[in-house]
Amino acid sequence: MEFTYSKFLAIWQVFALVLSGLAIVTGIVIFILHKLRFSSIRDYKQKYDYLAANDSKMIYYVIISFAVALTLFINTVYNATVQISYVWFFVRMFIAICLGTLIIYISYLMMKFAYPSTLEKKMKKWRYKPRVNKKTGNVMKLLSEEEEDVHLDEGMQAEENVFSVDYDVWVDEESGDVQIEKYPGHLIAHQCNSCGFKTMKLVKEEIILAPTEHTDGEMIKNYQCSYCKAKRTKTVKVAKLSQTESHYELPVHLHFKEEEKVNMVTIELNISNGKTKIYEFTSTKQASEFLKEYKLED
């Protein structure tokens, strides 16, 4: 009995160490492949999309690989004690699994709540990095949010609960070339005013005033923090419908994002029942129009 147990332990030792090494190698390979794939992408927009789709996932896989490696490695330590009785073998295994699970759980929480702000910074860098016109080689400029606004697809206009799409419009001032990039609005997480995490996400959109061919519409975006569940609303303008689909007409006076002094206006209303309501606007004009119109509902 004693002999077979120690023989088993010897095999276990080799087995766990080899697997632990393999798990570390797997983690390193995933990390390197991720970095290689990212740097092989030339287009900034595609880099952005790649990060959005893969970055958190890949980093999480790397962490899992290392956690598994550590779990397996712990199963090879304190051999002298484990030799005494098989009970210690299970005690060691239990502690190892608990520790591994804890690491994976904590990193899951970090990837879900803390990492998005880091990722957003990384993604923003590629989203706003000046584009170069492939035809002329000129550096392009990004139109301000006010001008590009929200362009809804034909089919989406009538729907109430649509998730908007953000368009970035890059203009080559010399040649007049336009490059339009589409970003899913719901992917972007904003900073939560209550908990400070960048976990405020778009959950619902309501069109309160439908746009026509001649007038702008208005839409309320409802956000909720995925961490502390705080809510917030924001009113945005929906651009006039363009006659021809997917045709973007440049405004007469170009107004670029870099010229804007005010990025965002936040209005916090402290209501008598102790509640607070926070509204965000992309310009002072929008904010003052909102205040003029504001009536306390309910």
Interaction of residue 225 with Zn ion, rule CB under 5 A:
yes
Mapped onto helix, strand or coil, the DSSP state of residue 245 is coil
Q: Give me the least distance between CB of 225 and Zn ion, in Å please.
A: 3
Quickly count: other Cβ atoms within 10 Å of residue 74's Cβ: 19
CB nearer Zn ion, residue 195 or residue 267? 195
CB nearer Zn ion, residue 156 or residue 230? 230
Residues 228-287 that bind Zn ion (CB under 5 A): 228, 230
Integer Cα distance of 180 and 140 in angstroms: 11
CB nearer Zn ion, residue 103 or residue 195? 195
Region near Zn ion per CB under 5 A, out of 7-15, 30-38, 72-80, 220-228:
220-228
CB nearer Zn ion, residue 190 or residue 237? 190
CB nearer Zn ion, residue 52 or residue 225? 225
With residues binned 3-state (H G I as helix, E B as strand, rest as coil), the percentages for the chain, rounded to 5, are 45, 20, 30
DSSP of 11-67, one letter per residue?
HHHHHHHHHHHHHHHHHHHHHHHHHHHHHH---HHHHHHHIIIIIHHHHHHHHHHHH
Number of shown-chain residues binding Zn ion (CB under 5 A): 7
Region near Zn ion per CB under 5 A, out of 110-118, 140-148, 227-235, 289-297:
227-235
Dihedral sign for Cα 22, 28, 31, 32, please.
negative
Residues 142-201 that bind Zn ion (CB under 5 A): 192, 194-195
Q: Give me the least distance between CB of 147 and Zn ion, in Å please.
A: 31
Q: Give me the least distance between CB of 116 and Zn ion, in Å please.
A: 12
Q: Give me the least distance between CB of 104 and Zn ion, in Å please.
A: 24
Region near Zn ion per CB under 5 A, out of 21-29, 170-178, 217-225, 255-263:
217-225
Q: Give me the least distance between CB of 236 and Zn ion, in Å please.
A: 21
Integer Cα distance of 152 and 50 in angstroms: 24
CB nearer Zn ion, residue 212 or residue 276? 276
Residues with Cβ within 8 Å of 267's Cβ and at least 6 positions away in sequence, in order, are: 278, 279, 280, 281, 287, 290, 291
Contact 239, 211 (CB under 8 A): yes
Residues with Cβ within 8 Å of 186's Cβ and at least 6 positions away in sequence, in order, are: 163, 164, 201, 202
* Cα 95 to chain centroid, rounded: 34
Contact 281, 235 (CB under 8 A): yes
Q: Give me the least distance between CB of 250 and Zn ion, in Å please.
A: 39
Q: Give me the least distance between CB of 286 and Zn ion, in Å please.
A: 24
CB nearer Zn ion, residue 16 or residue 225? 225
Interaction site with Zn ion (CB under 5 A): 192, 194-195, 225, 227-228, 230
